[in-house]
């Protein structure tokens, strides 16, 4: 890969025009870059802030050509980018992140193997590509466990939590049709994540460790600093840095981890891009994950990712949009981010609120006072 410095005034092409693309674009535009976005949906969140919009399917060769013509550097906001498009852009444009990391992270088996070869712990797992492998995996891993599709899952989709044999029934029709992996259920104290950036020059920068609370398998809120010991914080940070180096990361990598009840930090999964659990950085850090991502792919020096104040980030899902709008005149201490999506379907990520405090507890209290979210309730996968 020939490393270049991309200067403000030049054009950054983004594959995918959802909220992550939009927030990358906002940061980049602030720095004086121009934005081109490729997305099948004309009025997607990023198209609303981009200078040029290519409305086409991700596997459309003409669209890839248009992107190569207009962009000086290309990045992506999601991991399932079409392989042919990635190959074309590697040949005909400048894609400093390359295609290799996408190959790894879009497949849970590849990803787990890569994490292990970086020397980091993961939940015991086995491939389940047919009923024979399912039997072997159940014999070895047992219950409780979780069966996950190896590709394309998000927000708990494509997963079956198995407490006993009876729970297998729902998944059985899909075995052999789609590749799965079976994973031991890890009892955890907390779910945490770390965003790490690595630039084309090899410089790295790590964001503060975030504590994530999911409800119905969707990230509900993130607290920073995570309420864990300094030793665990250091371990999680080192895990993220180690992965960034081992994977030859360029750009941003989100590393989701479990703090196990055994006191170890396990890596759950990664995403080769900015991540929902890093949105707090826009208002709470010296530099946001989006600006850092732009700096990393453009070959600019990375900036400080230091936390300025404790923070809570709460997701605004479809069902929260109207209540938030109804309270807008009371939101003086909450930074509102809405992504410009019109269909407010239940569970759809429509935006987020960021609230700073002198302590995490104070930030939580302010978030509860809004009266839309209960923050401190029992947590758990299906709560």
Name the site residues for ligand ADP (rule: CB under 6 A). Answer: 123, 146, 153-156, 183, 185-186, 188, 191, 214, 217, 256, 268-269, 381
For residue 181, the partner it binds in ligand ADP, Mg ion, none, with Cβ less than 5 to 8 A by kind, is none
Site string for Mg ion, 239-258 (x = CB under 5 A): -----------------x--
CA distance 258 to 256: 7
For residue 60, the partner it binds in ligand ADP, Mg ion, none, with Cβ less than 5 to 8 A by kind, is none
Of the pair 98, 153, the CB lying nearest ligand ADP is at 153
Of the pair 93, 222, the CB lying nearest Mg ion is at 222
**Contact predicate 190/265, CB 8 Å:** no
Q: Looking at beta carbons, which residue is closest to ligand ADP?
A: 186
Name the nearest CA neighbour of 223 among 306, 279, 288, 154: 279
* DSSP per-residue codes, 5-59: PPPBTBEEEEE--SHHHHHHHHHHHHTT-EEEEEESSTT-TTTTT-SEEEES-TT
Of the pair 94, 280, the CB lying nearest Mg ion is at 280
CA distance 278 to 217: 17
For residue 146, the partner it binds in ligand ADP, Mg ion, none, with Cβ less than 5 to 8 A by kind, is ligand ADP
For residue 191, the partner it binds in ligand ADP, Mg ion, none, with Cβ less than 5 to 8 A by kind, is ligand ADP
Q: Which residues of 114-152 are buried (b: 16+ CB within 10 A; e: fewer)?
A: bbeeeebbbbebbbbbeeebbeebbeebeeebbbbbbbe
Of the pair 153, 340, the CB lying nearest Mg ion is at 153
Of the pair 268, 281, the CB lying nearest ligand ADP is at 268
Query: Smallest distance from the beta carbon of 155 to Mg ion, in angstroms?
Result: 8
Of the pair 112, 341, the CB lying nearest ligand ADP is at 112
Q: E strands along 87-199, which residues?
A: 125-128, 145-149, 159-162, 180-184, 188-198
**Contact predicate 99/74, CB 8 Å:** no
CA distance 64 to 93: 10
For residue 214, the partner it binds in Mg ion, ligand ADP, none, with Cβ less than 5 to 8 A by kind, is ligand ADP
Residues that bind Mg ion (CB under 5 A): 256
């Amino acid at each position: 890969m020939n490393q270049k410095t991309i200067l403000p005034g030049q054009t950054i092409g983004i594959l995918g025009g959802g909220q992550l693309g939009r927030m990358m674009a906002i940061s980049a535009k602030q720095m004086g870059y121009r934005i081109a976005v490729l997305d099948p949906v004309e009025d997607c969140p990023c198209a609303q802030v981009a200078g040029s919009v290519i409305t086409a399917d991700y596997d459309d060769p003409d669209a890839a050509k248009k992107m190569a013509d207009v962009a000086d550097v290309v990045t992506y906001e999601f991991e399932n980018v079409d392989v042919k498009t990635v190959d074309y852009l590697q040949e005909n444009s400048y894609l400093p992140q390359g295609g290799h990391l996408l190959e790894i992270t879009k497949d849970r088996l590849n990803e787990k193997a890569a994490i292990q070869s970086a020397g980091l712990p993961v939940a015991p797992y086995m491939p389940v590509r047919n009923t024979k492998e399912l039997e072997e995996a159940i014999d070895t891993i047992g219950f409780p466990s979780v069966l996950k599709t190896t590709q394309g899952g998000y927000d708990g989709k494509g997963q079956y939590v198995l407490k006993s044999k009876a729970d297998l029934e729902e998944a059985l029709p899909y075995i052999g049709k789609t590749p799965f992996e079976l994973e031991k259920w890890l009892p955890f104290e907390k779910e945490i994540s770390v965003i790490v950036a690595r630039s084309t020059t090899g410089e790295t920068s790590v964001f503060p460790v975030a504590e994530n609370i999911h409800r119905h398998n969707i990230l509900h809120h993130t607290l920073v600093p995570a309420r864990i010991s300094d030793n665990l914080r250091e371990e999680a940070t080192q895990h993220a840095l180690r992965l960034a180096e081992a994977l030859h990361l360029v750009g941003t990598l989100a590393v989701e981890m479990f703090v196990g009840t055994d006191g170890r930090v396990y890596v759950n999964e990664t995403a080769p891009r900015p991540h929902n659990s890093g949105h707090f950085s826009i208002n709470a850090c010296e530099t946001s994950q989006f600006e850092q991502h732009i700096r990393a792919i453009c070959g600019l020096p990375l900036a400080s990712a230091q936390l300025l104040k404790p923070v809570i980030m709460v997701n605004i899902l479809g069902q929260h949009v109207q209540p938030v709008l109804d309270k807008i005149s009371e939101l003086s201490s909450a930074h509102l981010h809405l992504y410009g999506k019109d269909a407010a379907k239940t569970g759809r990520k429509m935006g987020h609120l960021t609230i700073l405090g002198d302590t995490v507890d104070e930030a939580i209290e302010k978030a509860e006072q809004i009266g839309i979210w209960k923050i401190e309730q029992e947590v758990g996968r299906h709560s």
